Structure 1
Amino acid sequence: MSDVNARIGDIVNSNDIVLFMKGTPLFPQCGFSSRAIAILDHLGAPYETVDVLQDMEIRQGIKAYSEWPTIPQLYVKGEFVGGSDIMMEMYEAGELHQLIADSGIAVQG
């Protein structure tokens, strides 16, 4: 499991914003992943995604890595933020935009 943790750690720490999701941004494979992508797209910040359906080790490993049982999972500047429900609550309160701004991540037009 430590090899998977190292792979996940590399992904999390080498991207300002990364979303572990089911599917891809163009073709999400669950409603929660679709909602997470919609939120990120609306914020206009650049992000990377990892399709956990393409890698079973990552699909299981990310749950242990974050100690969070569900997917999608959002990381900003290496820190676990939460799943789609938490993202929605933070987005509606303006907290997600503030977190991204406070992290020094440039938002596109």
Structure 2
Amino acid sequence: MSDDTLNTIKDQIANNPVLLYMKGNPNQPMCGFSAQTVQAVMNCGKRFAYVDILSNPDIREKLKEYANWPTFPQLWVNGELIGGCDIVTEMAGNGELQQLIDEAVPESEAS
């Protein structure tokens, strides 16, 4: 696997305050875990970026190593891996996700 893929991942994480690596896209998630996670993020009402790992197999494989996290989806906020579906939905339920995303994304960038 090339360094280009690793550099792409690093750029994506660095240049997007809220980034979701998922199966499919926000309008058409391709698995239940991605669907639950994207809904939790969308409910926060702020813009976020996503990468469909199904159409980017190099990123899918390299990200597992880079993040030391074997499963998808993966939510990254301000360059930090927050976690997958269980963690994100739990944080959404207790209000932590909204606070985290509000701090990461200025009000002017509401969706």
TM-score computed with the length of structure 1 as normaliser: 0.92
Aligned to 2:80: 79
| CA distance in structure 1 between the partners assigned to 2:35 and 2:110 by the alignment | 20
Query: Is 1:53 aligned to residue 54 of structure 2?
Result: yes
Aligned to 1:108: 110
Gap regions ≥5 residues in structure 2? none
Q: Partners in 1 of 2:45 and 2:87 — Cα distance?
A: 18
- For the pair 1:6 / 2:7, whether they are aligned, the reply is yes
For 1:27 and 1:102, locate their aligned partners in 2 and report how far apart those are by CA, in whole Å: 27
Code of the residue aligned with 1:108 in structure 2: it is A
Q: Which residue of structure 2 aligns with residue 18 of structure 1?
A: 19
Q: Compute the displacement of 1:14 (Å).
A: 0.5
Amino acid at match of 1:5: L
The match for 2:68 is 67
The range that moved more, 16-25 or 95-104, is 95-104
Q: Equivalent residue of 2:20, what SS? A: strand
Does the 8 A contact of 2:23 with 2:72 survive in 1? yes
| Structure 1 segments of 4+ aligned residues over 2 angstroms from their partners | 101-109
Q: Show CA shifts across 1:24-59 (max 9, x none).
A: 111110000001111111110110110000111101
* Count of aligned pairs: 109
Q: Distance in 2 between matches of 1:105 and 1:64?
A: 31
1:104 Cα deviation after fit: 4.9
Q: SS of the counterpart of 1:101?
A: helix
TM-score of the superposition, structure 2-length normalised? 0.90
- Give the C-alpha shift of residue 9 in structure 1: 0.5
Report the CA distance shift for 1:105/1:62 in structure 2 as closer, same or farther (over 3 A). farther
**1:98 lines up with 2:99 in the alignment:** yes
Identity %: 40
CA distance in 2, matches of 1:70, 1:86: 12
